[in-house]
Amino acid sequence: MNTNVLGFIISAVYMLAVFGIAFAFSKKGKEFTRKFIHIMLGNWWIIAALYFDDVKYAVILPALFVVVNFLSHKYKLIKIMERDSSDAGEGKDTYGTVFYAVSLLVLVLYTYLLEKMPMLGVTGIFTMAYGDGLAAVLGTKFGKKKILKNSNKSVVGTTVMFVVTFIIHVVFFMVYGVKYAILKAILMALIASVIELFAKRGTDNLFVPIVTTVVAGLLM
């Protein structure tokens, strides 16, 4: 079987599994379910990088999700993905789920067509999925002290974002034999944390993965 076709099948099964599990655990709360989807969908990038060598196959699911997520946000089609106006101080007009899909689509095009290195995208996608996702979960649970006035971002959440981003990048840089991996990983963690701290209305889902991927590529 063509690896691109196999990759598409595995991708579809994985996506369905993530949403199936999310629905099963939806009673734990909408925000928990949203972050579960947010984190787990990021793992799709590994499937894409391993199986897709043709960008036409790689863009299918991200492009589809741009449309689906936009319609879901507008018409509340997939309620477990959508925030209420009171959730996490973000407001009901947050387009975070749409930006997530857009960032996936942009990075597929960027890493496949320009960088010719699909695995590079794991730096940005994992930073968004695990860094931002865990920062939100742990920050909401344990982050009593806010890092800035008039902000919902906590010291705990920003610290988690920094540490997780550092780990992702130091591992990536070391695997690819990049010089000064630790120093460069620290820089990446600072960049991602600052973007996440100041981004509004879900735009961190757009700027964090794209900026970190581009900068990581420049540092290699």
pLDDT digit of tens for each residue in the chain (220 aa)?
899 999 999 999 999 999 999 999 888 777 788 899 999 999 999 999 999 999 999 999 999 999 999 998 888 888 888 765 544 444 455 788 999 999 999 999 999 999 999 999 999 999 999 999 999 899 988 978 888 776 788 999 999 999 999 999 999 999 999 999 999 999 999 999 999 999 988 899 999 999 999 999 999 9
- Torsion of the alpha carbons at 60, 167, 35 and 190, rounded to the nearest 10: -90
Number of alpha carbons in the 13 Å side-chain half-sphere of residue 198? 6
Domain boundaries defined on the chain: 3-219
On whether the pTM is more than 0.95, the answer is no
pLDDT at residue 74 in the model: 85
In sequence order, the β-bridge partners of residue 146 are 154
Sign of CA dihedral 58, 13, 205, 48: negative
pLDDT at residue 71 in the model: 92
Dist CA 110 CA 121 (whole Å)? 9
Tokens of 139: 């920050």
Q: Are 212 and 203 in contact (CB under 8 A)?
A: no
